Amino acid sequence: MVNDENLNEIKEEAINEEDNMVEETLEESEVNEDIEFEQLDQKDKTESEIEGLTSQNKSLAEENKKLSNEVETLKDRLLRINAEYENFRKRTEKEKKALYTDACSDVLKYMFPVLDNLERAAAAEGNAEDLKKGIEITLKQFEDALNKLDVEEIKIEEGFDPNYHNAIMHIEDESYGKNHIVEVFQKGYKKGDKVLRFSLVKVAN
């Protein structure tokens, strides 16, 4: 038979069990809420990351398009520069050939009369004295042609100068001064400061 004391104990146990169940339920609820919050937070983070990546991808796509346009612009510019350079090269080559032809024409127009006189001298009949006189006249004409072209003979009066003379022989002779040019084997010529042909000389001391 259950007395009042036992009944009270049973009631207390039931209340304690109920409280425990409520506490456990509350704890489980809090845990579930925490999990839900974590899941929501994780979902928010994932969505935020997706939005960030989407925005970054869009930005990269725009930058890539911009860079592609710049590359195409540079390619087009390079092609035009290459075409301009090729035209410039051809035009310069053509101008150089024209200059060379003009220069040759300017020189040869002074040489042709000399050639004419040499041909006349070769065809002429006469004694040695007449031939010598004809050669002297032709030489004078040739010198005049060189003068018209501003070509002058390299002088030797000031002694040996390696900038103008090429010493192919050297002698020791006290009757000559130092670097004195004793003999010219082949005359040299220059136009302005440019040497057209070095003089071949014999130098003393």
Q: How does DSSP assign 170-184, residue by residue?
A: EE--TTS-TTEEEEE
Which pLDDT does position 134 carry in this prediction? 85
State how far the alpha carbon of 94 is from the alpha carbons of 29, 86, 90, 100, 102, in Å. 95, 12, 6, 10, 12
Q: What pTM was estimated for this model as a whole? A: 0.54
| CATH code at 53-149 | 3.90.20.20
The full set of domain ranges for the chain reads 53-149, 152-205
The pair of three-digit structure tokens given for residue 71, joined into one six-digit string: 């590359």
pLDDT at residue 205 tops 80: yes
Each residue of 83-135: pLDDT tens digit?
999 999 999 999 999 999 998 998 899 999 998 988 888 887 878 888 888 88
* Whole-number Å distance between alpha carbons of 168 and 187: 13
Each residue of 132-143: pLDDT tens digit?
888 888 999 999
- What is the third-level CATH fold of 152-205? Nucleotide Exchange Factor Grpe; Chain A, domain 2 (2.30.22)
Each residue of 41-68: pLDDT tens digit?
677 678 788 888 888 899 899 999 999 9
Q: What is the CA radius of gyration of the chain?
A: 55
